[in-house]
Amino acid sequence: MKMIRGYEFPCILLALARKFRAFFPGIYWNLRSKLLIKLSGIKVGKDLNVYGRLYINNRRKDEIVIGSNVVLQSRFANNFVGLLNPSVLDTLGGGKIWIGDDSGLSSVIISSRSMVQIGRFVKIGGNVRIFDHDFHSLNSETRRTSKDHLHIKTKSVYIEDDVFIGTNAIILKGTRLGTRSIVAAGSVVFGLDVPPDSLVKGNPAKIIINKG
């Protein structure tokens, strides 16, 4: 009986947590995420709102910085664009992720080995991927070895203020999106230096200066 009692108490807590999540999902995910952020040593401003699952992978403090009034959205019921995954903030090696004030991100996956910097008032649509590295060496012989991770190419990504990135777009290493630029849904942007007030669309993406 002692062993049974030892297992009963955690099960009751788990059941209560699930009930709380079912009836108060917004409060539950906010509390869970803020606890995770505190344990991860992330710098965060005021009024962070998290809806749905958030996964964080950072090895050192100050690798991830989140500004004030930021929304991280990955709850399907809150966004019918078709969210497919949790929000993920992943830093590897010396990577950094900075997210500016008043920005909103939906089911975004960000992975950095150098720097992914997101400005203020940026809107990032559902299921967008932002990677500043290749994950593997581009040399096939190197990929066969245990030193693959030592030969990964990386170059920072900069997303300036008021940028809008449409759903399912992919932003790859070396890209800079100028102020107020727009990335069309489903576009793949690789290494472009996009001027302010431009439209980017296609795979591979091309720059169209006139957004009209």
Per DSSP, helices labelled H in the chain are 2-23, 25-40, 140-143
Q: Name residues whose C-beta falls within 8 Å of residue 28's C-beta, 6 or more positions apart in sequence.
A: 17, 20, 21
151, amino acid identity: H
Could you tell me how many residues make up the chain? 212
For residue 86, cis peptide bond before it (omega within 30 degrees of 0): no
pLDDT-derived band at 108 (thresholds 50, 70, 90) equals very high
pLDDT at res. 39: 82
Q: Name residues whose C-beta falls within 8 Å of residue 81's C-beta, 6 or more positions apart in sequence.
A: 106, 125, 126, 167
CA dihedral 34, 39, 40, 41 (to 10 degrees): 90
pLDDT at res. 46: 92
pLDDT at res. 15: 63
pLDDT at res. 3: 40
**Domain coverage including residue 139:** 2-208
Rounded to an integer, the average pLDDT of 154-159 is: 97
Rounded to an integer, the average pLDDT of 28-41 is: 79
pLDDT at res. 144: 92
- Give the CATH number, domain containing residue 176: 2.160.10.10
Please count the structural domains in the chain.
Answer: 1
3-state SS of 8-61 is HHHHHHHHHHHHHHHHCHHHHHHHHHHHHHHHHCCEECCCCEEECCEEEECCCC
13 or 207, which is more confident: 207
Average pLDDT score over the chain: 86
Name the percent of the chain lying above pLDDT 90. 55
Query: What's this model's pTM, rounded to 2 decimal places?
Result: 0.84
